[in-house]
Every structure is written in C-alpha cells, then in structure tokens.
Amino acid sequence: MPKPTSKTIKAGDKLSSRLWQGFLTTVGTERFFHIFSPWVKWLSLIAAILLGVGTIWGLGFAPPDYLQGNSYRIIFIHVPTASLAMSIYFALAILGVIFLVWKIKTASLVAQAIAPMGFIFCVLSLLTGSIWAKPTWGTYWVWDARLTSMLILAFLYAGVMALFSAFAHSPNRGKAAAILSVVGAVNLPIIKYSVEWWNTLHQGATFTVTNTPKMSATMWVPLLIVMLGMYFLAAALAIYRTNSLALAYDHNKSWVQRLINAGQRSDS
C-alpha cells in the first residue's frame, strides 16, 4: 500500500479545515436562530396539550393511592421537575465539554439559557418533595442521600449561574461555568443511584427501562404524559432563551440589524 505524500496530507488537512469551518457556520448564532425559531410555537403547543391532558387526568381522574390517598398526586409535579433538573444539568455538562474543546459560542449561550431553568426545576423538585414528605415521613426534611444530593445540585446550578454573571464581560466568558458544569456532573450518578447505594427513606425510581412500572396504568400513564409535556416545554423555553441571548450578544452584527429593519418595515 503506497504511503501518503505530503501533498495528499496537505490536501486532506485543507479539506478537513473547510469541513470544520462549514460545520461552525451551521452552529453559529445566526443559523441557530433561523433554524430553531419556528420550533418554539410548535413545541409550546405540544407542551400545552400534553400538560393539559396529563394534569387533568392525573389530578382529576387517577384513583387515590391505597396507602397515601390523594397526597401522592404531588408526584405529577415532583417527578417531572426532578427528572428535568437532572437532565438539564447533564446537558450543561455536554455543552461545557463542547465549549471547552471546540470553542463553539452557541454551546455556551445554550448553557447560559438553560442553567436558570434547571435551577428552578431543581428547587421545585425539592419543595414538592418536602411537601410530599410531611404526610409520608412525618417531617418536611431529612438528610437523606437523595435529598442531600439534590440540594447539592441546586447549589451547583447557582454556582454555574453566578459564574456566567461574573464573567459576562470577560473574554473567557462561559469558561469557568463550563468547567464547573463538567466537574459537577459527578453528582448526577450519586443522585440516580443513591437509593440503591445507601439505605434511604426515598423510594426507588418510578420508571425503569427493564422493569414494569410500580403503579397502575391509570397512574403512570398521566404521569408519563406530564413528563413529556414538561420536556417539550423545557425545549421551547431553551430555544426562546438562547435566541434572546444571541440577539443581545450579537446586537451589533449585521444579521441582527437585518432582523430589526425587517421588523420595522413590517410594522410600518
């Protein structure tokens, strides 16, 4: 087999460079804005339908639990918010790696957009869990492994948001937040497997890939619908917030000025 010549290697390097530059243009803020902006209304519509159906079904028609009665219905808020809090932080870690390795600005903007969302979902998960714990455990809070690791997740979210704010006008904006996002991801498996690794009060997972749900279909189906609706809502909010940040950071660029001029012409 003949060895590649220096010309072949240089041609391959040039081709790789062109492909990489072409890829960067597709993930730039302008392309992101134009590609995903139309998605917001459709994702929001699907989210509204799923949340409406799941909430009415779960709160109005699902039967009470044979042990907890109607107090279990807070699961329709608690489980989706807890799942989203973990999923969004996992996305933060992935975006952090992308930004640190390939310096893609859009990845940092998406991370900045979704970090407050993850913090809100995490706080809602802790609050609803505490409310649910009172009739179930007789107290609002115990230093349970799952609760403690979720509280740490809330502090990690707060740290990521603080770093984005502190370095907002720095050339290395987003770098410190990306590093914390990646390092903090070690907490995610602790949250997920805490009920298996330690003897805790918290119940196990409601849904698993290998096992059937631990509740009847009249309970877990509306819960699944609500979870899907929450994920669609989170996707719509993530795109909307990212586009808003992109417009703010690129306000002096030509593509933003074109959008402003087009909007002014349509209003006149």
Residues 92-128 pLDDT 10s = 999 999 999 999 999 999 999 999 999 999 999 999 9
Please tell me whether residue 41 adopts helix, strand or coil conformation.
helix
pLDDT at 2 over 70: no
- The rounded mean pLDDT for the chain is 88
Average pLDDT over residues 38-46: 97
* pTM (2 d.p.): 0.90
Give me the helices (H) in the chain, please: 6-26, 29-36, 39-56, 75-102, 105-137, 145-166, 175-184, 187-197, 217-249, 254-267
Q: pLDDT exceeding 90 applies to what percent of the chain?
A: 62
pLDDT at 20 over 60: no
Q: pLDDT exceeding 70 applies to what percent of the chain?
A: 83
pLDDT of residue 263: 78
Q: What are the boundaries of each domain within the chain? A: 74-216+229-250
Comparing 247 with 202, the larger pLDDT belongs to 247
DSSP string, 115-182: HHHHHHHHHHHHHHHHHHHHHHHSSS----HHHHHHHHHHHHHHHHHHHHHHTTTSTTTTHHHHHHHH
pLDDT of residue 216: 86
